């Protein structure tokens, strides 16, 4: 049996796809990796919000699934939209790696630093931590962003720790933010294996139940906040507590709440954001 596994073509994405493939291989099962270019890969200059925000690294992979050009799509779960596309399902989440954000180039935040990130979520929380920071837009794959930090004379950049770890670049990390400081993106640290609805059996053996429970709760919080909320949103389940956050992109306000029921928590955050911007 041949399973065609679709992935973005970056070094990190292909490394992650191989991690997934290693979990899917078995007696009588062959894996073919199929690189696919996404909108987020083609446009590396504009901010994510201008090219679609969440989903910019996902849409083309989902279309390839629906058109039967691949059988499994490997996504960084944080890149996925908060709800599943019709006809598709997440058949497995691999066991989660470090969900934290990482500071590269410095070992702590200092007043007046120039920090690079393309994430509105990171920008909002960094400015809430230290309002004197200068947050500069920074796009590209991990290697590109690490290089641009030096070329542009930035004091530091913020990346997902899991991506650096998977590429063997953990030495670049000067500091890993506690989620109490920077709440991670929903799904950060997890890999999602998406399939056509009804074909979950192709990947079911690779599913980690604890990761699924936590990531699905995080995605549900974001879904309940709703597309009408323009504020940066974050959600993270540490195995004990589900936390959600909304904030102003300039860090001028930030609302963090915990809850047991994801939809209720998301609605509470949406109401808090609406009150702040009204």
Residue 79 annotated in active site: yes
Which bin fits 114, alpha (ψ -120 to 50), beta or left (φ > 0)? beta
Set 41, 43, 71, 79: catalytic member: 79
Would the CA dihedral through 255, 261, 267, 271 be positive or negative? negative
**Strand pairing report for 30-35 and 2-7:** parallel
Burial degree of 28 (CB within 10 A; 0-12, 13-18, 19+): exposed
To 10 degrees, the CA torsion angle through 59, 61, 63, 69?
A: 170
Q: Using CA atoms, how far apart are residues 246 and 272, in angstroms rounded to an integer?
A: 8
Q: Using CA atoms, how far apart are residues 278 and 276, in angstroms rounded to an integer?
A: 6
Q: Using CA atoms, how far apart are residues 115 and 223, in angstroms rounded to an integer?
A: 29
Instruction: Just list the catalytic residues.
Output: 79
């Amino acid at each position: 049996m041949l399973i065609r596994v679709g992935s973005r073509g970056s070094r990190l994405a292909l490394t992650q796809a191989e991690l997934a493939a290693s979990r899917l291989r078995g007696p009588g099962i062959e894996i073919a990796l199929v690189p696919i270019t996404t909108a987020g890969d083609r446009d590396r200059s504009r901010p994510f919000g201008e090219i679609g925000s969440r989903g910019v690294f996902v849409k083309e992979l989902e279309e390839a699934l629906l058109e039967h050009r691949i059988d499994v799509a490997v996504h960084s779960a944080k890149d996925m939209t908060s709800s599943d596309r019709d006809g598709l399902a997440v058949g497995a989440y691999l066991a989660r790696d470090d969900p934290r954000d990482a500071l590269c180039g410095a070992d702590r935040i200092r007043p007046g630093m120039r920090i690079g990130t393309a994430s509105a979520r990171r920008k909002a929380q960094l400015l809430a931590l230290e309002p004197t920071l200068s947050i500069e837009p920074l796009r590209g794959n991990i290697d590109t962003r690490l290089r641009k930090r030096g070329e542009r004379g930035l004091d530091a950049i913020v990346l997902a720790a899991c991506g650096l770890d998977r590429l063997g670049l953990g030495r670049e990390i000067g500091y890993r933010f506690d989620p109490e400081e920077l709440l991670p993106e929903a799904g950060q640290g997890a890999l999602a294996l998406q399939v056509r609805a009804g074909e979950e059996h192709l990947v079911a053996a690779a599913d980690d139940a604890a990761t699924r429970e936590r990531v699905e709760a995080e995605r549900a919080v974001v879904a309940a906040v709703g597309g009408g909320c323009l504020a940066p949103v974050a959600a993270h389940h540490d195995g004990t507590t589900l936390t959600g956050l909304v904030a102003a992109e300039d860090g001028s306000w930030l609302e963090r709440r915990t809850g047991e029921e994801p939809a209720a928590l998301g609605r509470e955050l949406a109401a808090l954001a609406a009150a702040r911007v009204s």
